[in-house]
């Protein structure tokens, strides 16, 4: 079954995952000959999650993506490793083996690492324990930290971007202080469908930098208008330190998401020094233009560095998007808005508090 039509606020992804469709969406990203400043997007086949294979594979894609060079990685560089630790369900989170392999690669380059997130439900340490990440990191002497100590950040929305459903003035997200202390972020998403944003990839994963209950407030307030929420997420990304990315698509989540979907064996691992460029390449894997995805469209509107709209050129040093078979990957039939109904918001906050207490 091909990707079905989806409808939300004008986003109408066309069905079909044939090579011609994927190639049409790749062409704006790729110009020949490539300039010396082209951004490499490294895509490779992921056949399994055993340690030996993952260490080799993750190292290969991070090397091919030239992340060490692009991010000036050297001894003492402070890196925030940001996995997706949504909740204590393995498919909803980045695979522990991928996180550990990325940390080994960073350690080999002399980086100072902090592995951290602010889960939607519960505490980062409790989620890490539930999915096996805590024990997997122990041999490296690493623990999973909670992204807390929030600092309000005014979002630099584009001129004219506003929502009739939000209050007056520029919105603010409360970002964990540790985010400001790093030299760059390595976003480690699992490739997943998303009931509100269609897909959740490397840039969307940065929403986890918003601390604790502030995330619920932002979802409830700005999330009532999906296009506006996507603009807010794009603006959040623009305030962060540089964001490189490693996407876990060995086993993706489809049908719905980010937590209740079904596994889909995509057999993909991808990396880039630009989270935006990697996301656009992953859209092409699914036969989608960036404009067909709410967050992708928001990044196009602001001509985000790394996007084809900004003039960024990309190269594919390993495999290309059309080399992956995503036929049968189902996206949500219809995107859902986040309601600001007071009862729903209070219920969400209570669930988060209870999950945190159970840590």
Tell me the mean pLDDT in the region 194-216.
91
Tell me the mean pLDDT in the region 32-43.
75
For residue 78, pLDDT over 50 is answered with yes
From residue 44, alpha-carbon distances to 56, 62, 91, 100 in Å are 11, 11, 20, 18
Q: Is the peptide bond before 33 cis (omega within 30 degrees of 0)?
A: yes
Which residues is 115 bridged to in the sheet? 81, 144
Instruction: Provide the pLDDT for residue 312.
Output: 96
Instruction: Provide the pLDDT for residue 315.
Output: 97
For residue 14, pLDDT over 90 is answered with no
Q: CA torsion sign, 61 to 65 to 68 to 71? A: negative
What DSSP character marks residue 292? G
Neighbours of 310 (CB within 10 A): 14
Please provide the distance, in angstroms rounded to a whole number, between the alpha carbons at the two ends of the chain: 40
Instruction: Provide the pLDDT for residue 9.
Output: 35
All residues at 6 or more sequence positions from 92 whose CB lies less than 8 Å from its CB, including other chains: 84, 86, 190, 192, 253, 257, 258, 259
Q: Which of 15-29, 81-95, 167-181, 341-355 has the highest mean pLDDT?
A: 81-95
Tokens 């000036």, residue located? 72
β-strands 262-272, 112-117 pairing: unpaired
Tokens 């986040």, residue located? 338
Burial (CB count <10 Å: 0-12, 13-18, 19+), residue 164:
exposed
CB 228 within 8 A of CB 222: yes
Instruction: Provide the pLDDT for residue 1.
Output: 31
Q: Which two tokens stand for residue 347?
A: 């219920």
Instruction: Provide the pLDDT for residue 32.
Output: 41
12-16, 158-162, 247-251, 342-346: lowest mean pLDDT where? Answer: 12-16
Mean model confidence pLDDT for the chain:
87
8-17, 180-189, 230-239: lowest mean pLDDT where? Answer: 8-17
Per-residue pLDDT band for 69 (boundaries 50, 70, 90) equals very high
Distance in angstroms (rounded) separating the CA atoms of residues 346 and 349: 5
Instruction: Provide the pLDDT for residue 221.
Output: 73
For residue 4, pLDDT over 50 is answered with no
Tell me the mean pLDDT in the region 332-337.
82
Distance in angstroms (rounded) separating the CA atoms of residues 118 and 333: 28
For residue 258, pLDDT over 90 is answered with yes
Burial (CB count <10 Å: 0-12, 13-18, 19+), residue 86:
buried
Distance in angstroms (rounded) separating the CA atoms of residues 77 and 183: 6
Q: Which of 66, 105, 46 is nearest to 315 (CA)?
A: 66
Distance in angstroms (rounded) separating the CA atoms of residues 68 and 221: 38
For residue 53, pLDDT over 90 is answered with yes
For residue 341, pLDDT over 80 is answered with no
For residue 118, pLDDT over 80 is answered with yes
Distance in angstroms (rounded) separating the CA atoms of residues 30 and 221: 38
Q: Which of 330, 290, 308, 306 is nearest to 187 (CA)?
A: 306
**Where are the alpha helices (H) located in 145-288, listed in sequence order?**
177-180, 213-222, 226-239, 275-285
């Amino acid at each position: 079954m091909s990707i079905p039509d989806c409808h939300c606020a004008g986003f109408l992804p066309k069905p079909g995952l044939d090579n011609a469709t994927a190639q049409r969406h790749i062409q704006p990203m790729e110009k020949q000959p490539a300039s010396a400043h082209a951004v490499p997007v490294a895509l490779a086949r992921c056949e399994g999650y055993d340690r030996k294979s993952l260490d080799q594979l993750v190292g290969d894609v991070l090397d091919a993506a030239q992340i060490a060079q692009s991010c000036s990685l050297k001894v003492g560089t402070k890196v925030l490793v940001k996995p997706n630790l949504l909740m204590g369900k393995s498919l909803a989170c980045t695979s522990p083996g991928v996180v550990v392999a990325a940390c080994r690669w960073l350690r080999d380059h002399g980086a100072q690492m902090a592995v951290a997130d602010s889960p939607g439900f519960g505490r980062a340490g409790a989620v890490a324990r539930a999915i096996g990440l805590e024990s997997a990191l122990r041999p490296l002497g690493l623990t999973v930290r909670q992204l807390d100590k929030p600092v309000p950040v005014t979002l630099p929305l584009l001129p004219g971007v506003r929502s009739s459903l939000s209050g007056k003035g520029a919105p603010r997200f409360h970002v964990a202080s540790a985010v400001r202390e790093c030299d760059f972020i390595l976003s480690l998403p699992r490739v997943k469908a998303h009931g509100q944003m269609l897909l959740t990839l490397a840039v969307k994963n940065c929403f986890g930098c918003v601390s604790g209950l502030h995330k619920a407030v932002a979802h409830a307030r700005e999330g009532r208008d999906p296009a506006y929420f996507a603009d807010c997420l794009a603006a959040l990304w623009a305030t962060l330190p540089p964001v490189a990315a490693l996407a876990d698509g060995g086993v993706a989540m489809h049908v719905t998401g980010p937590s209740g979907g079904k596994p889909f064996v995509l057999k993909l691992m991808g990396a880039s020094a630009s989270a935006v460029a990697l996301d656009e390449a992953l859209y092409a894997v699914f036969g989608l233009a960036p404009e067909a995805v709410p967050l992708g469209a928001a990044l196009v509107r602001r001509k985000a560095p790394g996007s084809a709209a900004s003039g960024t050129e990309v190269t594919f040093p390993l495999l290309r998007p059309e080399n992956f078979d995503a036929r049968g990957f189902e996206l949500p039939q219809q995107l859902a808005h986040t309601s600001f109904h007071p009862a729903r918001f209070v219920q969400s906050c209570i669930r988060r508090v209870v999950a945190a207490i159970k840590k």
